[in-house]
Amino acid sequence: MATVALILNALTVVLGSFQYGHHIGELNSPQKVITTCPEPSEPPSALTPTGLEAGLPVLEKEGSLPTCIPMTNAEWSVLVATLTLGGLVGSLFVGSRLANRLGRRGALIVNNAPLVLGSLAMGMASSYGTMILGRFLIGIGCGAATVIVPMYLAEISPAELRGTLGVMNQLGIVVGILFSQVLGLYYSTETQWRTILLAGAGLAVIQVFALPFCQESPRYLALQPGGAAKAKRSLQILRGRQDVAKEIRDWTRQDERTIVAEEEESLGASPLLNDASDHLLVGGAGHSGDENNNSISATHGSGGLSVVEFVTMPRYRRPLIILTLVQLSQQLSGINGVIFYSTAIMSQILPSSGAMITVYISIVNVIMTLIAAYVMDKARRRTLLMASAVAMGCSSFLLAWSLNYEIPKLSAFSIIAFVATYAIGLGPIPFLIIPEVVDTAAVASASAYALSINWTTNFIVSVMFLKLREWWGGNVFYLFFVILGLLTVAINRIIPETRGKTVEEVAKSWQPSHRH
């Protein structure tokens, strides 16, 4: 049962996802006013050197800052995609290290530093270079948050709410996108567009002040030498009761099996091939919080597994394939081409309504994510993934066709359906599934690896999308239609069902004796 403490902790931590969503959408609506400088109202003095003689735009200033920063479409694409480069660095090198060294809560507090600095740099920028630097810093913070937030939510969730709380990460993202689109609707003007960018700094400061009131992850605390008592106390507060012994004992049993599996592997045994040790394949979903099991916690230590260890250890080979596929599926679907550039896409066919349709898209995204949160613990994960991919493929086909034949209403419907069907499967599940296929000792590194795949693919799609649209027009969505078809086949063949199962039960599903 969800307690007030559990809900408040989850909401506070999800502010990290909210910030990520805001930064995804913040450049969508104000693109034109940022990059297009107004014509000078009167010719400059002959004595005053200007860029007009060289054919360059004049930068008018509001106070001490210019009202525009001229960019070509290619430069704008690079600026938008720089978020993903920073995200790659943050997810691969920052998120898991901070989470293992400072704890999940401490990591989020520190992680707000690049988010504040990056937002201030972009909001106060007077040059393209400063915008790029700020966007990169923001990306680092967003990348780390995408590792830490799902990890924390998984570690505080009771088994019966694992799916619902897991979807809160995606819900935070889509509400953040909606927030930025609403700001863009009102502040995308020559004098106010900086407000949209500076809002990110305010969000980061709010989370910094709220996080100290949250509990540290009890499973993280149990990993620390002598941390069993703190873990128990944290769990008691989150569960709203004193009797948490059974949950702690479950962590202990799973942890013991994980250690045995690691010892067998270090001696050359292969749990993957030993039917008697099927249950040792990937260990358990948590760690000990019992005062009598500090030796277990100390065995793992506070550092957990490194990314290199996760990638190279044979017993994580199948989880590695699964995580790679779901992360590629999310980004190769083309979702961020739509989220980053929906205003530009729709403004070409509905010039007066492009920004408003972008807001409608975000509202539908939020509604569908709420529905996903309701059904996530009732429907099969694998079924939702496949249904999402098929529906997105159909929407992508209709969007391409309607753009090519200039059917505005069908285009608007298709782009909204594209985002809505993403929200029920390919949006939340790639984040949710990480702690469902690997044990807690490896979840930080598994998250770092998975999110590095996500950010790399995101960067490629973000950089290439506008150029592909210039070359192919609406036909670019036929490409996503084909990709989604191939991904549906791969999901059907590779992804196991994880709903309501322990990590060990999921692992058994890909053993030869359990395949159908």
Higher per-residue pLDDT: 61 or 336: 336
Q: CA dist 14 to 114, 210, 256, 377, 418, Å? A: 17, 11, 31, 19, 24
pLDDT for res 43? 55
Please determine, for residue 278, whether its predicted confidence score (pLDDT) is greater than 50. Answer: no
Number of domains in the chain: 1
Asked whether residue 70 is assigned to any structural domain, the reply reads yes
* Mean of the per-residue pLDDT values of the chain: 81
Q: Tell me, what CATH number does 203's domain have?
A: 1.20.1250.20
Position 62 confidence tier, pLDDT thresholds 50, 70, 90: low
pLDDT for res 183? 94
Asked whether residue 175 is assigned to any structural domain, the reply reads yes
Asked whether residue 33 is assigned to any structural domain, the reply reads yes
Chain segment 388-405, per-residue pLDDT in tens: 999 999 999 999 999 888
Asked whether residue 249 is assigned to any structural domain, the reply reads no
Asked whether residue 245 is assigned to any structural domain, the reply reads no
Question: Which residues form the domain of 488?
Answer: 4-38+57-218+317-508
Please determine, for residue 221, whether its predicted confidence score (pLDDT) is greater than 60. Answer: yes
Chain segment 118-143, per-residue pLDDT in tens: 999 999 999 999 999 999 999 999 99
Quick one: CA dihedral 396, 397, 399, 404, positive or negative? Answer: positive
Write down the pTM of the prediction: 0.75
Asked whether residue 415 is assigned to any structural domain, the reply reads yes
Chain segment 380-389, per-residue pLDDT in tens: 888 999 999 9
Please determine, for residue 273, whether its predicted confidence score (pLDDT) is greater than 70. Answer: no
User: Comparing C-alpha atoms, which of 217, 212, 249 is closest to residue 235?
Assistant: 217
DSSP 118-177: HHHHHHT--SHHHHHHHHHHHHHHHHHHHHHHHHHHHHH--GGGHHHHHHHHHHHHHHHH
Chain segment 4-54, per-residue pLDDT in tens: 999 999 999 999 999 999 999 899 889 889 998 876 655 555 445 544 444
By residue count, the chain amounts to 516
Chain segment 362-371, per-residue pLDDT in tens: 898 899 888 8
Q: H helices then E strands: how many in the chain?
A: 22, 2
Q: How far apart are CA 136 and CA 119, in angstroms?
A: 10
Q: CA dist 496 to 285, 394, 430, Å? A: 17, 24, 13
Please give the average per-residue pLDDT across 450-472, as a whole number: 85
Angle at 439 between CA 284 and CA 9, to 5 degrees: 100
Asked whether residue 152 is assigned to any structural domain, the reply reads yes
Asked whether residue 72 is assigned to any structural domain, the reply reads yes
Position 59 confidence tier, pLDDT thresholds 50, 70, 90: low
Q: How far apart are CA 460 and CA 333, in angstroms?
A: 12
pLDDT for res 279? 31
Higher per-residue pLDDT: 248 or 239: 239
Please determine, for residue 60, whether its predicted confidence score (pLDDT) is greater than 70. Answer: no
Please determine, for residue 219, whether its predicted confidence score (pLDDT) is greater than 50. Answer: yes
